[in-house]
Amino acid sequence: MQKGEYRKVQQIDIRNIKLNVATLCSYMGMTTEQLAEAAKIDKNRLAAIRAGRVRISGDDLLGLSDATGIPVGNIQTSKELQ
């Protein structure tokens, strides 16, 4: 590639990337409280998950997946993955 040339960038399908709670909020254009409501998770629990103070449960993952359309396997479940 020569100077001034650009490679065509493919659009990334966000459903194929690991996303944490903060990124899910940003992607959906929601606050943590709004995402919690949409996912049917207590807002304090989701805030604690986002901060890494508690582990995410299977029910939490399903709720987040249902609310965002992101597959469960693409939602980060612990801080060490960030």
What's the one-letter identity of residue 78? S
Among the residues of 1-82, which ranges form H helices?
Answer: 21-28, 32-39, 43-51, 58-68
Within 13 Å and on the Cβ side, how many CA atoms surround 2?
0
What's the token pair of residue 66?
């249902």
Lookup result for tokens 């060490």: 80
Domains and CATH numbers, the chain: 16-74 (1.10.260.40)
Q: Which residues of the chain have pLDDT under 70?
A: 1-17, 78-82
pTM for the full model?
0.74
